[in-house]
């Protein structure tokens, strides 16, 4: 520790910090524009000027490190005069359009101008005007407002990993733009809006729709992927107006993906808001009581073997728990926790979680990707890998299809048998792994749809033992580098609740086969939007969800549910971390929260079944079911290292990726006009 003096107060500070960081640590606020704690230091704006003893002029606090005995003044006459001068220069060309600027009320320039701005300007010439740029369907530009802080450029280059933004010209003629007129192709581009300190970059979908002070703000989590990014949902008049990130250092830091940020308009399109019952091959509007009566009359006449339940990617734990109990009441164990042929039978928790944790990637020294593209499947997790790569002495390898990552990696080919070569020491990677201290392996969850999934898991288990992927001392993990990258928000929670069939051969194809042979009489689809119900024409189908599509038109009963922004619910992210969503608005029409629908249906069938009065009763039952996972402290539990998989033949069949189109992955994003436009402009044209 070193001792410095700030505003006549002696303080002890860690060496290596800048003056700005030292002041922030002790609660002294210094105005900034170009500085951002997660970006490199630029020193462009000069707004953070402070006075240092023995210096004839003020210095930029963001770029000057502290030293022992340094004396700093942050509020002297020299500092105030200098900052006012800088502010006067910044406002010379800045337009007086605050009343129509979407940044109004959240603008750093507005706030700082209150302290250091003048009521008039000495500049008597015409203001500079800059032509607007086309950054795509997500970011609106008014570049005349730009103060050349270069935050957006540094974010694009350093965090997003795309070198598409830069500067042209010098001085007041400098402009920030793409070098050629094109859409920014990063899946993180919306974060530039947040870090822009003025109104140069704003949200195009949100433009001129509302003012910040008109919005109701609800802190919740995102379920468009399995990471569980912390977000804030802003609503007005029971409508989601925008989505913003919340800082969580363990998960998403302060970033979110463009899908998380902009797919919210899909919440109001194609919504189901009233129950439907099929009569004479046509879906007719109904009510809850009649719908429950039809379902009851069908279910009580069936045997459990001829019933099945399938959940979608965004189903909450409370609803999964109640649906499972309902089917067990009828003696059915036919559960699918995915909308494909995935097999999760008899695997320990360590074999379906991201055990390193998202923040734990920072401690690794090598990464192997197997059948996955984290940039598309989990954007926030991918930023951690890139962040670790930029620190240096880090190598990334990929076994699977060629993928476009925003950091260099070595493509080892798309042959699963390469894993055996590595284990047997016949691959060049084997020697590198022996020297590695904390390697990680990330396996895409699409591997669970393969026929040889058990053999692949087994060889990876053997790899973890032979090489330092897993290090245990006294039954405690020193390091756990084995990870499954789930892309569905509901997946880990469903497996924690044993929502899978004990029969490894029971999958979606089996259901189609049984339905064709009239041996599957009843199927309950809970938020299941990817299954084409025309393949189940011989089966009575109940669909419960929040969006309608052509895929569910063959359903016999449709029950309108709620989205994650319309309910209080529990999710378990890919790490095994329990998190909660919080209700930001009400579901449309006669829609209900999903757990309430299943609970009411259960009571209709049997009054003593799932007799829960409110959500707290359901959560108490969840805690009793699995206290380690669903306890109130919501800490990530350490999974025991158990063997997984079975010895067998690994085929040469190439790995396939779980997601091909980043923007269209679920019923909400597929209903979003914004996401469809992004898909057309960014994916199809590039």
pLDDT digits (tens, 9 = 90+) for 532-554: 888 888 899 999 999 988 878 88
Mean pLDDT of the chain: 92
Give pTM, 2 decimals: 0.94
Mean pLDDT of 409-434: 95
Binned at pLDDT 50, 70 and 90, residue 82 comes out as very high
Mean pLDDT of 478-490: 94
Q: Which of 183, 170, 205 is nearest to 134 (CA)?
A: 183
Q: What integer pLDDT is reported at residue 505 of this predicted model? A: 82
Instruction: Identify whether the C-beta of residue 659 lies closer than 8 Å to the C-beta of residue 665.
Output: yes
3-state class of 271 per DSSP?
Answer: strand
Is the CA virtual torsion 167, 170, 174, 179 positive or negative? negative
Q: Which of 529, 34, 487 is nearest to 257 (CA)?
A: 487
Contacts of 128 (CB under 8 A, 6+ apart): 93, 144, 172, 173
Mean pLDDT of 126-154: 91
Q: What integer pLDDT is reported at residue 686 of this predicted model? A: 53
Contacts of 185 (CB under 8 A, 6+ apart): 162, 164, 682, 686
pLDDT (tens digit, 9 = 90+) per residue, 162-201? 988 888 888 878 889 888 777 888 999 999 999 999 999 9
Q: What integer pLDDT is reported at residue 552 of this predicted model? A: 83
Residue 612 has pLDDT above 90, yes or no: no
Q: Which of 25, 132, 127, 9 is nearest to 71 (CA)?
A: 9
Cα(512)–Cα(386) distance, rounded to whole angstroms? 42
Percent above pLDDT 70 for the chain: 99
Backbone angles phi, psi at 361, to 5 degrees: -60, -30
Q: What integer pLDDT is reported at residue 254 of this predicted model? A: 95
Binned at pLDDT 50, 70 and 90, residue 208 comes out as very high
For the chain, what is the radius of gyration of the CA atoms? 28
Question: β-pairing, 165-168 with 175-178?
Answer: antiparallel
Q: Secondary structure of the chain: what % helix, strand, coil (to 5)?
A: 35, 20, 50
Binned at pLDDT 50, 70 and 90, residue 238 comes out as very high
Which of the residue ranges 188-202, 329-343, 629-643 has the most confident prediction, judged by mean pLDDT? 188-202
Beta bridge partner(s), residue 570: 580
Q: How many CA atoms lie within 13 A of 30 on its CB side?
A: 32
Query: Hey, what are 543's tokens?
Result: 């669909």
Binned at pLDDT 50, 70 and 90, residue 312 comes out as very high
pLDDT (tens digit, 9 = 90+) per residue, 672-685? 999 999 999 877 65
Q: Which of 424, 425, 390 is nearest to 405 (CA)?
A: 390
Residue 291 has pLDDT above 70, yes or no: yes
């Amino acid at each position: 520790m070193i001792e410095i003096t700030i505003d006549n107060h002696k303080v002890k500070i860690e060496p290596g910090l800048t003056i700005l960081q030292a002041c922030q640590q002790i609660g002294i606020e210094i105005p900034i524009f170009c500085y951002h704690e997660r970006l490199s230091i630029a020193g462009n704006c000069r707004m953070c000027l402070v006075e240092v003893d023995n210096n004839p002029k003020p210095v930029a606090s963001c770029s000057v490190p502290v030293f022992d005995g340094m004396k700093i003044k942050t509020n002297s006459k020299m500092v105030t005069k200098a900052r006012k001068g800088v502010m006067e220069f910044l406002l010379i060309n800045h337009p007086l359009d605050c009343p129509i600027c979407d940044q109004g009320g959240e603008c750093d320039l507005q706030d700082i101008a209150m302290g250091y701005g003048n009521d008039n300007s000495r500049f008597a010439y015409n203001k500079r005007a800059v032509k607007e740029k086309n950054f795509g369907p997500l970011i609106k530009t008014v570049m005349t407002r730009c103060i050349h802080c270069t935050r957006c450029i540094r974010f694009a280059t350093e965090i997003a990993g795309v070198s598409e933004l830069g500067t042209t010209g010098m001085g007041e003629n400098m402009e920030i733009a793409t070098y050629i007129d094109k859409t920014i192709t990063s899946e993180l581009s919306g974060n530039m809006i947040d870090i822009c300190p003025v109104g140069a970059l704003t949200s195009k979908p949100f433009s001129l729709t509302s003012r910040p002070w008109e919005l109701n703000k609800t802190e919740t989590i995102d379920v468009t992927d399995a990471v569980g990014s912390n977000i804030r949902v802003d609503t007005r008049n029971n409508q989601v107006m925008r989505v913003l990130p919340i800082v969580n250092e363990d998960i998403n830091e302060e970033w979110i993906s463009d899908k998380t940020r902009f797919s919210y308009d899909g919440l109001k399109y194609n919504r189901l808001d009233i129950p439907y019952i099929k009569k004479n091959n046509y879906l007719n509007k109904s009510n809850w009581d009649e719908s429950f009566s039809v379902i009851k009359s069908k279910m009580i006449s069936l045997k459990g073997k001829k019933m099945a339940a399938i959940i979608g990617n965004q189903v909450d734990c409370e609803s999964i728990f109640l649906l499972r109990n309902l089917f067990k009441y009828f003696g059915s164990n036919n559960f699918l926790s995915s909308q494909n042929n995935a097999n999760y039978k008899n695997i320990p928790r360590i074999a379906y979680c991201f055990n390193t944790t998202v923040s734990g990637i920072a401690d690794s020294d090598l990464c192997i990707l197997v059948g996955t593209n984290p940039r598309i499947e989990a954007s926030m997790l991918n930023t951690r890998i890139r962040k670790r790569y930029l620190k240096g002495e880090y190598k990334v390898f990929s076994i699977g299809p060629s993928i476009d990552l925003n950091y260099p990696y070595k493509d080892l080919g798309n042959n699963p048998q390469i894993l055996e070569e590595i284990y047997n020491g016949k691959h060049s990677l084997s020697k590198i792994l022996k020297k590695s201290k904390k390697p990680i392996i990330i396996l895409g969850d699409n591997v669970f749809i393969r026929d040889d999934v058990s053999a692949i898991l087994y060889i990876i288990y053997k790899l973890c033992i032979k090489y330092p992927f897993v290090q245990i001392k006294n039954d405690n993990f020193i390091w756990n580098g084995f990870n499954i990258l789930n892309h569905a928000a509901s997946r880990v929670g469903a497996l924690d609740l044993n929502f899978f069939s004990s029969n490894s051969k029971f999958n979606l194809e089996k259901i189609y086969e049984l339905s064709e042979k009239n041996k599957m009489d009843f199927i309950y689809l809970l938020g299941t939007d990817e299954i084409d119900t025309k393949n189940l024409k011989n089966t009575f189908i109940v669909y419960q969800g929040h969006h309608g599509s052509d895929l569910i038109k063959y359903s016999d009963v449709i029950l309108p549910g709620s989205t994650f922004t319309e309910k209080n619910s529990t999710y378990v992210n890919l790490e095994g971390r329990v998190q909660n969503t919080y209700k930001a608005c009400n579901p449309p029409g006669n829609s209900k929260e999903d757990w309430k629908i299943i609970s009411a249906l259960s009571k209709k069938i049997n009054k003593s079944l799932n007799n829960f009065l409110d959500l707290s009763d359901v959560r108490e039952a969840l805690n009793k079911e699995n206290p380690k996972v669903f306890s109130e402290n919501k800490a990530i539990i350490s999974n025991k290292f158990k063997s997984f998989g079975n010895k067998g033949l690994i085929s040469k069949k190439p790995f396939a990726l779980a997601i091909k189109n980043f923007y269209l992955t679920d019923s909400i994003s597929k209903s979003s006009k914004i996401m469809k436009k992004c898909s057309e402009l960014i994916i199809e044209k590039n």
